[in-house]
């Protein structure tokens, strides 16, 4: 189990306390323990809201455990608490038969959309029942985010620390009508419905930054997986949702990479988000970028020199390709320190 059922958010299932109360107690303990650092050393707190800290259902198995992670996933609505919520919602709209359970034709984790009746092109996801179910399922996720965001806002108010929440980068099957993998993760995002705008607006209500991933990925590179992937399309849509909701956007790379092509893609996407000419209303959208991750490999000479150039490009907003230089130890140390300082200036919220 990766996460407690969203159906019991406010129910006293943990020795008389609800999950939201327990999460709130943890946040208060963090605030009280690090109060002297908040707003100064600790400038931003990312609030975990689901598996991997992301606001989503645990609908797919992480790729470290299986090679089949790019399947459609499965809906997470079969525990007694989610079932009770679905049943009550169905009865409220006068369709008690819709509350018996999740879609019977939604397949399993490893299948492709066209192998199922629910997710295939013009499948049952696009019927009155499918729309009802998806609205309820995604609504439960947004409500969960609302509960945690509201608690975090109350607890960390006046500390000086900014708050952020992370949305999963479910880019596989993005190029299909149903966006099946996103639907099972809780994002009611299809060719006919924007599933990220409600989430961005929810974050906006609580003054939070929307954090998203996939900045280093290209559609062309992902074609080898044959899963209708579009990380670039997904990022554009999230950027638009953040922009429309006046919510700051924070980015990160999805996988650890040190090659120049991936770093150039990050720079390209970072600048795309900064391009006010693409939007009717101008405001500073991107406030930070997190490079994942620090490791022994990062400090290998070739990788470190490439990373230094990447940081400088992010800092000064222009692309350049200087020749490789064989730095002496003292020069490398000075360059590293300067780059770290530049990186902080380039990637901190103003």
8 A C-beta contact, residue 245 and residue 201 = yes
Q: Which of 175, 246, 247, 160 is nearest to 211 (CA)?
A: 247
Tokens for 244, please give them.
Answer: 């429309």
8 A C-beta contact, residue 204 and residue 153 = no
Indicate which residues carry an active-site annotation: 54, 252
Q: Which helix (H) or strand (E) holds 164?
A: strand 162-166
Q: What are phi and psi of 203, to 5 degrees?
A: -60, -40
In the chain, where does DSSP find H-type helix? 19-33, 80-92, 128-156, 180-185, 197-205, 219-222, 231-245, 260-274, 301-316, 329-347
- The set of residues, in sequence order, having a beta carbon less than 8 Å from that of 55 and lying 6+ positions away, is 49, 141, 144, 145, 165, 166, 167, 168, 186, 199
Concatenated DSSP letters for 217-256?
--HHHHGGG-S---HHHHHHHHHHHHHHHT--EEEE-SS-
């Amino acid at each position: 189990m990766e996460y407690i059922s969203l159906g019991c958010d406010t129910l006293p299932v943990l020795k008389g306390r609800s999950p939201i109360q327990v999460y709130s107690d943890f946040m208060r303990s963090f605030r009280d323990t690090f109060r002297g650092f908040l707003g100064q050393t600790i400038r931003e707190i990312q609030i975990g809201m689901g598996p991997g800290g992301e606001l989503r259902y645990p609908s797919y198995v992480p790729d470290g455990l299986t090679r089949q992670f790019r399947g459609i996933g499965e809906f997470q609505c079969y525990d007694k608490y989610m079932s009770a919520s679905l049943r009550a919602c169905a009865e409220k709209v006068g369709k008690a038969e819709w509350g018996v359970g999740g879609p019977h034709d939604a397949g399993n984790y490893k299948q492709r959309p066209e192998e199922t009746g629910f997710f295939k092109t013009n499948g049952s996801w696009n019927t009155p029942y499918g729309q009802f179910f998806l609205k309820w399922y995604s609504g439960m996720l947004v409500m969960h985010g609302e509960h945690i965001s509201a608690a975090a806002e109350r607890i960390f108010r006046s500390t000086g620390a900014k708050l952020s929440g992370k949305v999963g980068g479910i880019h596989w099957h993005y190029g299909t009508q149903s966006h099946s993998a996103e639907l099972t993760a809780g994002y009611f995002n299809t060719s006919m419905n924007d599933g990220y705008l409600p989430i961005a607006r929810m974050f906006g209500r609580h003054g939070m930054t929307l954090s998203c991933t996939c900045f280093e990925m290209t559609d062309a590179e992902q074609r080898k997986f044959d899963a209708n992937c579009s990380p670039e399309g997904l990022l554009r849509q999230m950027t638009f949702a953040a922009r429309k909701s006046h919510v700051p956007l924070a980015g990160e790379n999805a996988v650890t990479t040190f090659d120049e092509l991936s770093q150039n893609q990050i720079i390209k996407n970072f600048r795309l988000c900064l391009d006010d000419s693409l939007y009717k209303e101008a405001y500073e959208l991107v406030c930070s970028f997190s490079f994942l991750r620090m490791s022994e490999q990062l400090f290998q000479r070739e990788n470190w020199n490439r990373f230094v150039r990447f940081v400088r490009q992010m800092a000064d907003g222009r692309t350049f390709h200087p020749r490789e230089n064989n730095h002496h130890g003292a020069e490398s140390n000075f360059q590293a320190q300067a780059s770290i300082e530049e990186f902080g200036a380039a990637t901190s919220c103003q």
